[in-house]
Amino acid sequence: MFEGLTTRFQSVLKVLRGQGRLTEANMHSGLREIRLALLEADVHVKVAKEFIERVKARALGAEVLDSLTPDQQLVKILLDELKSLLGEGEAPLKYSGNPPNVIMLAGLQGSGKTSTAAKLALHIKRRGRAPLLVPADIYRPAAIDQLRTLAGKIGVNVFDVDPKANPREIARSAFSYAKTTGFDPVIVDTAGRLHVDDEMMREVIDLAKILSPREVLYVADAMTGQDAVTSATAFSKALPLTGVVLTKLDGDARGGAALSIKAMTGVPIKLVGVGEKVEDLEVFHPERMASRIIGMGDVVSLIEKVESVVTKEEAEETAKSLAAGEFTLEDLRDQIRRMKKMGPLASLMEMLPGAPSLGDMPVDEAAMTQTQAILDSMTPRERRRPEIINGCRRRRIACGSGTSVQAVNRLLRQYGQMRKMMKGAARQAGRKGARRGWLPFGAR
């Protein structure tokens, strides 16, 4: 997401840094490029214009022009204004002290409401609550079955409905059921249409009146750009929207919807869908997203992803192996598995500071998958003692992983080089430690 916009921002800042000092003339030129970048990213014209005016008012003042580091001051201004555009701080889901709380999802057909309902249920379940999913979309074929299937995967209850029942009746029954059984919150998946129409609006307005939801979340498909913003604006006029869930952020390199939707609706982005898996729903952090757009990365989110897949004990065990120079193929296999749990490599790379400067550096997901297949085809003993892997074993591993003997040889050769470097580093650390009176874990 925002790939094109980030690249253009970096290009503009690089040119301005090369000017030696910032003047009104080259600042105007740079701001014009930023405006074009915003429009190309499908940001709403009104939003882009107001953003540039705010940046210009600050950038052409003494704050920047008289600064010893004008380019850094400009970066700070852009970062501040992007944070303001995306929303000031995280907007958490709100709950009242009188359960059951109701979270109603609204939006157009195809925006991902049903899958988002399941993702949201898992997100809430992991925070200690007992959500109940309510399939109120009786019009789309298999919508109810889809929700039941997804709920079964995550162990969340689904309210049993009659497909021929009226959505209003379903809402009343589900609320009464949750009140007597203790489920909280109630997540209602409403019906959508291909476009905004009177019938759909009447139905969601009625459901909102019946349920008095604590949260009314508009589910917007980021891939549709300005259409998502237009639809969200229409819904915000008819419903008391409390937040937006942006889906398919992993598939949109422009990001105009994310930059426009809060400014046009006045409603914060609360959650974002970053993948197809049921776990791929994240809290939206405006300041982190703004930092990524500027090209400063998002180290905090990267650390959180690492912490979500690596326990303290695992980290300490890996540290001991590395310090002793005893990193095995078993360790390598574990590391690859953990990295894959964190999401696509490309998205992880985007979180690193200076990622845009890497340009089109290829991120070979296929090579990682092939490496894992080869390692999975080895026996535990082979992974612990790769020196026993002879020609016969290599052919068996190649056959089992669907690769070639050459690919197996290449992996073993690369691992050998890696291990040699680690042992050298461990020995060097050991010599330094001995001089200071200590040795790293396992050093001899």
The mean per-residue pLDDT over the stretch 339-359 comes to: 58
Residue 240 pLDDT > 70: yes
Of 55-59, 230-234, 358-362, which gets the smallest average pLDDT? 358-362
Pairing of strands 157-158, 215-221: unpaired
* Among 100, 241, 95, 246, residue whose Cα is nearest residue 171: 100
Pairing of strands 215-221, 243-247: parallel
Kindly indicate the confidence band of residue 248, based on its pLDDT and cuts at 50, 70 and 90. confident
pLDDT at 359: 45
Pairing of strands 132-135, 215-221: unpaired
Rounded CA gap, 309 and 341, in Å? 7
36 to 41, 52, 73, 340: CA distances (angstroms)? 9, 10, 21, 36
271 has which bridge partners? 245, 283
Kindly indicate the confidence band of residue 263, based on its pLDDT and cuts at 50, 70 and 90. confident
pLDDT at 321: 63
pLDDT at 149: 94
Rounded CA gap, 438 and 444, in Å? 11
Kindly indicate the confidence band of residue 323, based on its pLDDT and cuts at 50, 70 and 90. low
Rounded CA gap, 312 and 57, in Å? 48
Kindly indicate the confidence band of residue 358, based on its pLDDT and cuts at 50, 70 and 90. very low
> According to the per-residue pLDDT averaged within each range, which of 217-221, 350-354, 368-372 is highest?
217-221
The CA-CA-CA angle for residues 309, 154, 334, to 5°, reads 25
Q: What percent of the chain has pLDDT over 70?
A: 77
Query: What mean pLDDT is reported for the chain?
Result: 81
> Which class would CATH give 102-296?
alpha beta
29 vs 242: which has the higher pLDDT: 242
SS3 breakdown of the chain: % helix, strand, coil, rounded to 5? 60, 10, 30
What is the reported pTM?
0.69
Q: Which two tokens stand for residue 305?
A: 């992803």
The mean per-residue pLDDT over the stretch 53-81 comes to: 74
pLDDT at 115: 94
In b/e form, how buried is each residue of 419-439, taking b as 16+ CB within 10 angstroms? beebeeebeebbeeeeeeeeb
Hey, what's the torsion of the CAs at 227, 230, 231, 235, to 10 degrees?
170
pLDDT at 20: 60
Residue 243 pLDDT > 90: yes
> Which class would CATH give 325-436?
mainly alpha
The CA-CA-CA angle for residues 95, 100, 103, to 5°, reads 60
**171 near 188, Cβ under 8 Å?**
yes
Give the count of alpha carbons within 13 A of 41, CB side only.
27
pLDDT at 210: 94
For the chain, the domains span: 3-86, 102-296, 325-436
Residue 406 pLDDT > 80: yes
Residue 373 pLDDT > 60: yes
pLDDT at 440: 40
What tens digit of pLDDT does each residue of 277-313 get?
Answer: 898 899 998 888 888 777 765 555 555 555 566 666 7
Of 19-28, 58-67, 218-227, 351-360, which gets the smallest average pLDDT? 351-360
Give 3-86's CATH code, choosing from 2.30.110.10, 1.10.10.60, 1.20.120.140, 3.40.50.720. Answer: 1.20.120.140
Rounded CA gap, 112 and 108, in Å? 9
Kindly indicate the confidence band of residue 184, based on its pLDDT and cuts at 50, 70 and 90. very high
Rounded CA gap, 188 and 134, in Å? 5
Of 37-41, 89-93, 428-432, which gets the smallest average pLDDT? 428-432
* Among 94, 85, 84, residue whose Cα is nearest residue 216: 94
62 vs 143: which has the higher pLDDT: 143
pLDDT at 438: 38
pLDDT at 256: 76
Rounded CA gap, 345 and 335, in Å? 13
Residue 316 pLDDT > 90: no
Kindly indicate the confidence band of residue 63, based on its pLDDT and cuts at 50, 70 and 90. low
Kindly indicate the confidence band of residue 98, based on its pLDDT and cuts at 50, 70 and 90. confident
What tens digit of pLDDT does each residue of 107-163 get?
Answer: 988 888 999 999 999 999 999 999 999 999 988 878 899 999 999 999 999 999 988
**372 near 340, Cβ under 8 Å?**
yes
Residue 350 pLDDT > 70: no
> According to the per-residue pLDDT averaged within each range, which of 22-31, 200-209, 347-356 is highest?
200-209
Rounded CA gap, 24 and 32, in Å? 12
The mean per-residue pLDDT over the stretch 415-443 comes to: 59
pLDDT at 434: 47
